[in-house]
Chains A and B, each alone.
Chain A
Amino acid sequence: MQKRSLFILSTLAFGYAFLYIPLISVVIYSFNDSNLATIWGGFSTRWYGELFRNDQILDAMFLSLRIAATAATLATVLGTMAGLLLARFGNFRGRTVFSGMITSPLVMPEVITGLSLLLLFVSLKQYFGWPDQRGFGTITIAHTTFAMAYVAVIVRSRLAAMDESLEEAAMDLGGRPFRVVFDITLPLIAPAMIAGWLLAFTLSLDDLVIASFVSGPGASTLPMYIFSKVKLGVTPDINALASIFILIVSTGLLIAWATLRKSRIR
């Protein structure tokens, strides 16, 4: 039954090569000694050293990490509330509007989200004098808004797959709904919340377009800095930066996969 045709095997091989050759070539070229990023000039690790001496990159990275951590935390709180609402609150008033609003950011083109939020911040400033400056605060709000949609979807599907009988039993034993949520539901959906937080963190760290719209002069996130450099072409230090990203992500995911597999075999 498992007779896999040559065709399937070769597309699998081709597909994975397509996905990984660009990444592998970036890693190889990050060790290129030449100033010209595309011509091989011998092995060297000097671009890694330059990376850590570049204050602009370090500042941008620090800002990005701060935004990502704040936005991911806010998005997890709001997204969990939204997921609970959709999965457990039945038909409250305005449910259709709410579920439309919560899922739309998932498919909204970034340019539209970015432009609309910028215009909102400009109008708010015009009428209320806030936000005074665009930067950390406005980017965090923008990232929270689209990341909470992802958290809500994850939490909601976890709740949908979860047996409601535990919550009902707690309720039958006299637990008040508020206590039941905190003592039973939240611990059970904690894995989904952690997954949601990680996804929100990654999405925030990754975003260029929305941040470019809602940021002001002076506040430059890591993707904004990278973009301003690679606009002009391939540069060796960005190769090194990309390689570090690739290394961190692959190690993290492989470790997670190995631990999951181990626990499943046991």
Chain B
Amino acid sequence: MAGATQHDTLWQRITIAVPYLWLLVFFLLPFAIILKISLADPIIAQPPFTPSFDQHGDLAITADNFLFLLTDKLYAVTYLKSVLLAAAATILSLALGFPIAYGIARSSPATRSLLLLLIILPFWISFLLRVYAWMGLLNNHGVINNSLLWLGLIDQPIQMMYTDFAVFIGLTYSYLPFLVLPVYATLERMDEDLVEAALDLGASRTRAFWDITWPLARPGVIAGCLLVFIPAMGEYVIPYLLGGPDALLIGRVLFDEFYVNRDWPLASAVAVMLLLLLVVPIVFLQRSQTRETGAA
């Protein structure tokens, strides 16, 4: 800024320094610590891990935790299951969310704002309580089973609670708004005349959709899918409350490794692995986001 006085540059420095330092101390430094502990051995002491340097000042780190995670079958299954469940929830969210976003974008402005509000509203109600609401529905004596029994469609309750199915539904339910909003944003900006033109030129509705609407909506679809997939991967509450004892998703394994087994180094290594697994989608998301804001 031209002509800044001494006083102003001081203020600018403060504006830069305060949030910068905050993030360095409370965001970056914690990651360094996780990395450091993930390379230590667990011991029975306080804190329960070996220091990075031994008493002679030599570097004393080990890759044992990572080797264990990579070779142990339980962990491989856990990672695979987390990816599969998160991917399945993403696909269902897209199948459900895209038509919703499309319907909202093509309705009259007055209805549109109400429909959007109704998408955002559940997001403001406690996440935990929304997951809890599903416990009442999926229970063996819950609303769904009772209704089906009453209708005579089944004569025994279906076990839905404490299964992967419940986790899958819970993930989709919780993260669906994250997909609808970005998809809606791209569809709303789209020029509907393009579709009209294609139809006038003799394209079928299906053809017009796949050749025009879908490519134009793609940035929103990609962002929306990642916004569902990334948090679903590390989810802890949903598998804990809705899943069975075998619903070992990464987030839950990390929590248990830390609090139940008190193995801090292994828990840290699980965190590092989860982060590595998410680096690619996160970078993708950031790039699509910058392109989005750069274009606007």
Interface residues of A (CB under 8 A from B): 1-2, 4, 7-9, 11-12, 14-16, 18-23, 25-26, 29, 37-39, 78-79, 81-82, 84-85, 89, 92, 94, 98, 100-105, 107, 109-112, 115-117, 119-120, 122-123, 126, 141-142, 144-145, 148, 152, 157, 160, 171, 176-178, 181, 202, 205-206, 208-209, 223, 226-227, 230-231, 233-234, 238-239, 241-242, 245-246, 249-250, 253-254, 257, 260-261
Chain A proximity mask over B227-260: 1 for CB below 8 Å, otherwise 0: 1001101111100110000000011001100100
A206–B241 Cα distance when bound, in Å, is 16
A-B residue pairs in contact (CB < 8 Å), sample of 19:
A11-B103, A12-B103, A12-B104, A16-B118, A22-B130, A23-B130, A25-B136, A81-B18, A109-B251, A109-B274, A110-B251, A111-B251, A115-B268, A116-B33, A181-B11, A234-B136, A241-B129, A253-B120, A257-B114
- Top 4 nearest A-B pairs (CB, nearest first) are A109-B234, A116-B30, A22-B133, A11-B99
List chain B residues, Cβ under 8 A from A22.
130, 133-134, 136-137, 173
The residue in chain A whose Cβ has the minimal distance to the Cβ of B102 is: A8
Partner of B30, one of A21, A120, A152, A246: A120
B23 engages A98 (CB within 8 Å): yes
> Closest CB-CB distance, B233 to chain A, in whole Å?
7
A223–B131 Cα distance when bound, in Å, is 12
List chain A residues, Cβ under 8 A from B16.
85, 89, 92
A261–B113 Cα distance when bound, in Å, is 9
A8–B205 Cα distance when bound, in Å, is 13
> Closest CB-CB distance, A216 to chain B, in whole Å?
13
Partner of A19, one of B19, B110, B119: B119
Interface residues of B (CB under 8 A from A): 1, 3-5, 7-8, 11-12, 15-16, 18-20, 22-31, 33-34, 37, 47, 96-97, 99-100, 102-104, 106-108, 110, 113-115, 117-122, 124-130, 132-137, 139, 141-143, 146, 173, 176, 192, 196, 226-227, 230-231, 233-237, 240-241, 250-251, 254-255, 258, 264, 267-268, 271, 274-275, 278, 282, 285-286, 289, 293, 296
A20–B240 Cα distance when bound, in Å, is 22
> Closest CB-CB distance, B83 to chain A, in whole Å?
13
A9 engages B30 (CB within 8 Å): no
A12–B119 Cα distance when bound, in Å, is 11
A209 engages B22 (CB within 8 Å): no
The residue in chain A whose Cβ has the minimal distance to the Cβ of B234 is: A109
List chain B residues, Cβ under 8 A from A92.
16
B271 engages A15 (CB within 8 Å): no
List chain A residues, Cβ under 8 A from B227.
107
List chain B residues, Cβ under 8 A from A141.
26
> Closest CB-CB distance, B238 to chain A, in whole Å?
11
The residue in chain A whose Cβ has the minimal distance to the Cβ of B134 is: A22
B103 engages A4 (CB within 8 Å): yes
A25 engages B26 (CB within 8 Å): no
List chain A residues, Cβ under 8 A from B268.
115, 119
B34 engages A230 (CB within 8 Å): no
8 more contacts with CB within 8 A, not counting A19-B119, A116-B30, are A11-B99, A19-B173, A22-B130, A107-B282, A111-B251, A120-B29, A144-B22, A231-B241
> Given A226-B129, A242-B129, does the pair A117, B26 have CB atoms closer than 8 Å?
yes
The residue in chain A whose Cβ has the minimal distance to the Cβ of B119 is: A19
> Given A8-B103, A19-B118, does the pair A85, B19 have CB atoms closer than 8 Å?
yes
B11 engages A202 (CB within 8 Å): no
List chain A residues, Cβ under 8 A from B235.
109
B135 engages A233 (CB within 8 Å): yes
B15 engages A110 (CB within 8 Å): no
List chain A residues, Cβ under 8 A from B289.
103
> Given A15-B99, A19-B119, A39-B141, does the pair A111, B254 have CB atoms closer than 8 Å?
yes
B142 engages A38 (CB within 8 Å): yes
Partner of A249, one of B114, B115, B121: B121
A110 engages B236 (CB within 8 Å): yes
A115 engages B254 (CB within 8 Å): yes
List chain B residues, Cβ under 8 A from A85.
15-16, 19
> Closest CB-CB distance, B173 to chain A, in whole Å?
7
List chain A residues, Cβ under 8 A from B173.
18-19, 22
